[in-house]
Homo-oligomer: A and B are copies of this chain.
Amino acid sequence: MRPSGRNLSEMRTISIETGVMRHAEGSCLIKVGDTHVLCSATIEEKAPPFLRGSGQGWVTAEYGMLPRATNTRMRREASSGKQGGRTVEIQRLIGRSLRAGVDRRALGERQITVDCDVIQADGGTRCAAITGGWVALRLAANKLLEAGLVTSDPLMDHVAAVSCGIYAGQPVLDLDYAEDSVAGTDGNFVMTGAGQLIEVQMSAEGATFSRSQMRELLDLAQDGIAALAAAQKAAL
């Protein structure tokens, strides 16, 4: 029934290759099916102004798409002079999600910037960015630990994200573009490795949804997150 022939609760193939950007403190190329995202983490030994003197650090994220990551070429945001609303919304979500898994006091007064650049898009780019972004962040935190710059681990648990939605009346896991573009309801779920919730964002795109549908999507999401966290562990 799904365009890809997958089962309703079947994730796409996940692949995470680390160390792909030699200058970054942490990096990976995450592929979730045909969605490919390059993630890098940059450590800066200075907290943003609003945290100076607080003893706490910050994690932030930026998101971009290569112009031809999509089927039709999109205008380059650098050339149009501003980041579109969708970009801004996504990078705020990535930043909030990653911060929820960080002990900012253990991090100390420094900032880690996670850049997520979509090389190829086939639905679920923000979820892949969070999942891959966490791997880059993990590698950067390892560098801090190895160098003795932090004494306890600033990362409290895995953070991963997956989308679910109601496609052709059925709850399905990990929507690709063919599904996402017609789904009646669409949700993004960010969780910890232990299954605690970090972000739930559900939208009625074509039809409103009920609490029981919401529960079904959450059930699917939990399974997906478990698979993603396993892939993160395998990659590290």
Contact = CB atoms under 8 A, between A and B. Distances in A.
B218 A197 contact: no
Contacts of A88: 85, 88-89
B211 A204 contact: no
Contacts of A204: 100, 196-199
Interface in A23-48: 23-24, 27, 34, 38, 40, 42, 44
Interface in A152-210: 187, 192, 196-204, 208-210
A66 B63 CA distance: 10
Contact of A68 (B23, B67, B199, B202): B23
Interface string A193-236: 00011111111100011110010001000000000000000000
- How often does this chain occur in the complex, in copies? 6
A115 B67 contact: yes
Interface string A97-110: 00010000000000
A85 B76 contact: no
A87 B96 contact: no
Interface of A: 21-24, 27, 34, 38, 40, 42, 44, 62, 64, 66-71, 73, 76-79, 81-83, 85-89, 91-92, 96, 100, 113, 115, 117, 119-121, 187, 192, 196-204, 208-211, 214, 218
